[in-house]
Structure 1
């Protein structure tokens, strides 16, 4: 991860550690850089960059700042307006854009925001380009064989223009509808839009496919995105599904690249369960290329046991849908994702897509003529206990010999009945200790053993 950009973009509190000036400079660099790349390839056309945003109050402010920077550098800015992250990736990939920008802090509260950069293939921006953006932000840019204290402004007819491009968002919606293999007629579906990006899209898509669609948290006011709503606060949808006798419910996050499900009984079906349901469905139809489902190290032990019983292979990556997608691309895998609901169907999209995930879950229900609860009957999720331990130095704490000995002791005791995972937080001075086992009591016992050793060693440092 860089100085400003993490695994999911440049994120921070609006006008505190992510400011309008940051956004303008990001636009300035991208507009100039992609224009230069075109000129070097013999193309004098201006760079084309597509922008989407979520419903945060500050998203409009950052949009205007980015547009000012882009056009001042000679690029044309195409505005999708309020839309989802996967729609920006889709439009960038299918409509010949040099790159895409999504303004969103995903599942964070409204006062945070973020700038996500997407390349022309609809994938998260490569690290080399991110490094150049960060160098420009720090006034230390060196590229194309020279150093730049400042990059040039465009003049006269070379100044970029702004294009209203809501049509691109509509084409993305049409694409999702076109993927529907079954009519949803007769199905009562609940959608929790988190007062975010999906608020004016998801219901139209489900209605178009014949569902009787019930919608909650689709009244954004700029400050209520993710507030007691969406995939991070799914209890509201659980209650709504049961009280209204719905067949299924789907909850998205602020920018709709995540989806979690609720079955007809009100139980949560998380990302692991989604991978199980669709991985099994693909296996049964001979569509699971490489016979591998890609997960992260945080996926539940019960998921792996279930895959073993089905003869389905699996890979484990670092936490982050970026790493999941990289593995899928490199190894030709068709499905992967995270427990949090970032699910990637690489045949159709290049990023996690919450609305597509919900459509795919509907597809399995319709094809197999089963309720959502029946699709998870053979998946037994193990209890999990996770404790965060504050430390002075994450690397030193995790590498400590006594800590490692305690971890190995627990791993040996659990054998094939559970697992322990100890990892560093990517953003905080924390060591995360997680145990999965057959009972919660066993989890607590083993977590406490390792945490005690970490705390004891920290006291001596």
Structure 2
């Protein structure tokens, strides 16, 4: 079978790829692999607002209970909220039901260990091995040994934790929050109001079907309009499970994950809080970010795309800050995973401490033009050994020289090859991207 676990858990169209039957088996296998099989084992479970969450939650819980493991049900909460509550309650594991920024028909199941970190590759491989077995031979306890479900009011504890990560009042600031009709809709407004900010919220009316629909971090123009309309100080847009953030400054300019990382790294560096004077980013991070960090004596460690790879590098190198251009930012001193609301709090906290608008803080870096094209293909990995594709890539790299770069990579979830070129000459970039895309379509296209 093809690998089930992607870079961020198991995902697919709910009730087609990700069925209740699969969720049930994932629950059983998770309860088997992630507990010590002793009485009192507990799983924490949360979900975002999409309509299929109830269906998958019921199946997943049934699988866990059938292994004699109790379930603490959090209801609607963000992905990092599940990770936090799992650690807080010393549970054996946590599970989040969400497909993040994906459309409503998709859903996903993501496991956390008892330490709040995502599972290691070898644990996911063991999940997949057990799933391939024709017969489910795992234990089936009976009678009083079957697990129970408990409602857990962990959201309030998570909100208190978020508030505790900043020391400044947000009094006098007007903040726009776009909650993507997702998991942040009742978390982020509460926290920002508790810290004294004037809060205007958009897209905080989830109905099960409107999560991420024309809103949130993948549609920043919504919060851009709101910032300008209300004359707000900052706009903050989350995705469906609130593990990423895209910001907008007071002039309506988008401040993506690279800028947020740069602002945070510099502020931590100035206070002596940036471990090893290093920040971790992915290969998609802008060259302007890398140059800005180098100019200020900060090293950049690059990883493959995916916040799990960022986290692996951070833990291995004992670094405390890392993230992605897409808005996943990890403050390892506070959290074990990317957290959009936590990132928003840290960003606004920096504005308050520096007594500077976001537009001024964002001048820390100058963004290089970066062009990207996605090409649907038959075999997304075949580009790596294709002479024609490698030749055109090499020619483009020669044209761009030391001031630019070319990046080709396959999608983690779709049969797509992504082509990116970056550098100061946008006309040349476009020529390179178009030529690489043409060759890839000719060689591998459907």
RMSD after superposition: 1.8
Matches within 5 A, 1:285-304: 285-304=271-290
1:237 has 2:223 as partner? yes
2:7 corresponds in structure 1 to 7
**Superposition deviation, residue 454 in structure 1:** 3.5
1:271 touches 1:339 (CA, 8 Å); kept in 2? Answer: yes
**CA positional deviation for 1:388:** 2.4
Residues 18, 453 of structure 1: alpha-carbon distance in 2 compared, 3 angstrom cutoff: closer
Deviation of 1:428 after TM superposition, in Å, equals 2.9
TM (normalized to structure 1)?
A: 0.93
Which residue in the other structure is 1:365 paired with?
A: 351
Matched, 1:227 2:213: yes
Assess if the C-alpha contact under 8 Å between 2:66 and 2:140 holds in 1.
yes
Indicate how the Cα distance of structure 1 residues 114 and 456 shifts in structure 2: closer, same or farther if over 3 A, else same.
closer
Shift of 1:288: 1.2
Task: Name the counterpart of 1:197.
Answer: 183
User: Counterpart in 2 of 1:21?
Assistant: 21
1:47 aligns with 2:41: yes
Consecutive unaligned residues of structure 1, counting only runs of 5 or more, are: 39-43, 141-147
Q: 1:433 aligns with which of 395, 406, 419?
A: 419
Partner Cα separation in structure 2 for residue 367 and residue 27 of structure 1: 45
Q: Report if the CA contact (8 A) 2:262-2:364 is conserved.
A: no
**Partner-residue secondary structure (3-state), 1:77:** strand
Per-residue deviation, 1:456: 4.8
Mean CA deviation greater in 393-402 or 119-128: 393-402
Worse-superposed segment, 2-11 or 101-110: 2-11
Counting only pairs closer than 5 Å after superposition, residues 35-184 of structure 1 correspond to structure 2 as: 35=35, 37-38=36-37, 44-139=38-133, 149-166=136-153, 168-184=154-170
- The answer to which of 352-361 and 436-445 deviates more is 436-445
Q: Distance in 2 between matches of 1:133 and 1:378?
A: 44
Looking at structure 1, the residues matched to 120 and 4 of structure 2 have their Cα atoms a distance apart, in angstroms, of 14
Alignment-derived partner of residue 399 in structure 1 = 385
Counterpart contact for 1:389–1:432, Cα < 8 Å: yes
TM-score between the two structures when normalised by the length of structure 2 = 0.96
Paired position in structure 2 for 1:31: 31
Instruction: Supply the distance in 1 between the matched residues of 2:161 and 2:320 (Cα, whole angstroms).
Output: 19
Tell me, in whole angstroms, the C-alpha distance in 2 between the residues paired with 1:411 and 1:394: 21
Matched residue, 1:211: 197
Query: 1:289, CA displacement in angstroms?
Result: 0.9
Deviation, 1:455, is 4.2
Partners of 1:56 and 1:350 in 2: CA distance: 24
Deviates more, 1:421-430 or 1:370-379: 421-430
Paired residue total = 446
- Give 5+ residue unaligned stretches, structure 2: none
Instruction: Give the Cα–Cα distance (whole angstroms) in 2 for the partners of residues 79 and 396 of structure 1.
Output: 43
The answer to whether 1:377 aligns with 2:377 is no
Counterpart of 1:145 in structure 2 is none
For the residue of structure 2 that corresponds to 1:150, the secondary structure is coil
CA spacing shift, 1:149–1:111, aligned 2, 3 Å: closer
CA distance in 1, matches of 2:386, 2:158: 50
Compute the displacement of 1:380 (Å): 1.0
Cα displacement (A) at 1:352: 0.3
Q: Is contact 1:398–1:424 with CA below 8 Å preserved after alignment?
A: no
